[in-house]
Amino acid sequence: MKKFFIAAVLLTTTIFTAMAQNKGSFDVYEFDGFKLHVYNTGDALGDASYIVEGKRGLVTIEYPLFKDNVEEFNAYISKLGKKVKNNIADYHIGGSGDIKMVMVEGMPEFMKGNVYGGMMQNFAQAFGDSMAELPEIEAKEVAFGKTIKIAGVPFTFNHGASSDFPGASIIIGGQVYYSHWAPSKSHASNLQFGSAAAVDAELEAARAALASGCTLFIGGHGGAVDKDALNFRIKYLETVKANLNLSKDAFVKAMEKAFPGLAGEEGLGALADALCK
């Protein structure tokens, strides 16, 4: 877990300092009993935010961090004509204002600590006034393994990957699976997979997502993808694990051969540095 935390802090200072914020786009998915509105923020962090529209109101998940995105997100919400019952801040805290907050148990305290707090301070230094004001309201904590209903939609809070921040993987309405990182058809980043243990943890988490019975998979990074992307991610991580005993150069060549032309090849060297002895 330490390596992931270090990578998260480095992320804020080495990659995103000079990047500008761009406004995003919305996609809508209909499910039995609710709609899911996906907001691809287009921000420098690759964040995504969500609105679950139930019959009795709205639930936001991972509110945007930047002012321009918050303005666009709020304008979209206002057009839906329903009250926001709660904001779920799982891995990402954003500009949710005075909306009642829900977090998994232990996350409010973790966000006050040196790791998460230091990361947010680095964001503030990197992005300055473009960041939204963060809420100071107390969050209601939900125990791992518990299901709560908000706006008529059930949300089940399960443990996320053990190598990640101590947030939750959330099953929404029994049909949508939220995790910190949405599965992607690309090479892994050393910022997410900083050790062999992290590969094992993410593989276990991906298999749990597949076994959930959900049909759409979303993340705080990466937006929304289908089961095909999740199956690919499992195969990819299994291949990474099988090649961990190789030298760094041999690992890169093996991954290029296994997935020719896959996006993210330029980062394989850094991934090998993190994973191979």
Task: Assign 6 a pLDDT band (cuts: 50, 70, 90).
Answer: very low
Across residues 213-227, what is the average pLDDT?
A: 96
pLDDT of 3 reads: 44
Phi, psi of 160 (to 5 degrees): -80, -175
Look at residues 150, 167, 65 and name the one whose alpha carbon lies nearest to residue 109.
Answer: 167
Contact call for residues 169 and 88 (beta carbons, < 8 A): no
Where does residue 171 fall: left (phi above 0), alpha (psi -120 to 50 degrees), or beta otherwise? beta
Percentage of the chain surpassing pLDDT 70?
Answer: 92
3-state DSSP percent of the chain in helix, strand and coil, to 5: 35, 25, 35
- What's the CA gap between 90 and 92, in Å, rounded? 6
What is the number of other CB atoms lying within 10 angstroms of the CB of residue 113? 9
Where do the domains of the chain lie, and which CATH numbers do they carry?
2-242 (3.60.15.10)
Task: Assign 13 a pLDDT band (cuts: 50, 70, 90).
Answer: very low
Is the pLDDT higher at 277 or at 62?
62
Helical packing angle, 227-242 and 196-211, nearest 10° = 150
Dihedral (C-alpha) 195, 197, 198, 200: value to the nearest 10 degrees?
130
Across residues 105-125, what is the average pLDDT?
A: 90
**What integer best gives the mean pLDDT of the chain?**
91
pLDDT of 61 reads: 98
- pTM here is 0.90
Percentage of the chain surpassing pLDDT 90?
Answer: 81
Residue located via tokens 């988490």: 205
pLDDT digits (tens, 9 = 90+) for 30-66: 999 999 999 999 998 999 999 999 999 999 999 999 9
